Amino acid sequence: MPLATLAAVGSAFPQNYYDQEALLAALREAWSGELFNIERLERLHKNVLVGGRHLALPIEEYNALDNWGKANDAWITVAEKVGAQAVRRALESAGLGVEDVGCLIFVSVTGIATPSIDARLMNRLGLPSRVKRLPIFGLGCVAGAAGTARAADYVKAFPEEIAVLLSVELCSLTLQLKDFSIANLISSGLFGDGAAAVVVAGEERRLPGPRVVASRSVFYRDSERVMGWDISEKGFQVVLSPEVPEVVRQHLRRDVDTFLADHGLSKESITSWVAHPGGPKVLEAMQESLDLEPEALAVTWASLREVGNLSSTSVLLVLEETLRNHRPERGAKGLLLALGPGFCSELVLLEW
């Protein structure tokens, strides 16, 4: 079977970056007189171990987003801008131009648009009119890994083509200022904004990079309330169960072992782990269940500290940093993995 190559990753962020103390101060002011246990907010922000995050808008502009329509309009504007930057950077890094793109897959779970963002980028980037577009909504944090796998599936069918996966997540535009649930308070300290694009090349293009050997999707039945959104006239209201780390402990090791065994491998065969930074408790559960040394997820932990959890974009940022500064030796095996709403996981076996 033809193989797919992850030829390059490009990322882009809104220019508005704030350290965690500045963000916490803004939330204290916004919730002054309404959130009576401000110490809980401070404790939760401290516990997520995030040092700072990018925001779609300057922090003083968020108070004007008093309905979902305004927040979603901002999402469209910023998503188009940072999405275009990420695609350009990924293509440039791969030594390609827009005329090389055959398929554009777009994933997000923090806003909606029709025409979709990928359609809006056709004109902005000057993409060929023949490009096949595939917008995907709803996969959440798992979409970076799942989108990579689907792009690889595409170029295995069309080995002469180039597919680009674009993820844009602007989590700050979903924050509910009237929701004082623990899930929303955690989200206010954990999630950030940004975009990343991956160039996935068919075998006939003969581009360098890790090859996608195989992928696997795993769905966990009757787990719809573990993670996701409740969507109403107010917009996106986070659903984030404290059960997430336990789901990881119950399922992930078995799923990884089974997937690798089907390809004649074991966990010990994997020298590079490209994991989504779901949060400290999730990463601890992942390390524990997979019996990993602390340094195995060092790039993932660093991404969490530097920019927070960017939903589907985050695992692509970890992949970008791994490609740039932490490449394993040629022929080494790697595993790219993420979990998300469903509840589900996506596993992508790489050969460097």
Which residues are annotated as catalytic?
141
Q: Cα separation of 154 and 121, whole Å?
A: 20
Residues in Cβ contact with 272 at an 8 Å cutoff, skipping those fewer than 6 apart: 322, 326, 328, 332, 333, 334, 335, 350, 352
Residues in Cβ contact with 25 at an 8 Å cutoff, skipping those fewer than 6 apart: none
Helices (H), the chain: 20-30, 38-47, 68-93, 117-125, 143-157, 182-190, 244-261, 280-290, 298-307, 314-325
Q: Which two three-digit tokens encode residue 261?
A: 């065994």
What values do phi and psi take at 183, rounded to 5? Answer: -60, -45
The CA distances from residue 97 to 87, 151, 166, 208, 239, in Å, are 10, 18, 15, 16, 40
DSSP state of 4: E
Hey, what amino acid is at 168?
V
DSSP state of 158: S
Q: Are strands 333-340 and 270-275 parallel, antiparallel or unpaired?
A: parallel
Q: Cα separation of 331 and 25, whole Å?
A: 48
216 closest CA partner among 265, 162, 167:
265
Q: Cα separation of 180 and 229, whole Å?
A: 15
What values do phi and psi take at 202, rounded to 5? Answer: -70, 160
Helices (H), 179-243: 182-190
Torsion of CA 309, 335, 102, 207, to 10 degrees: 120
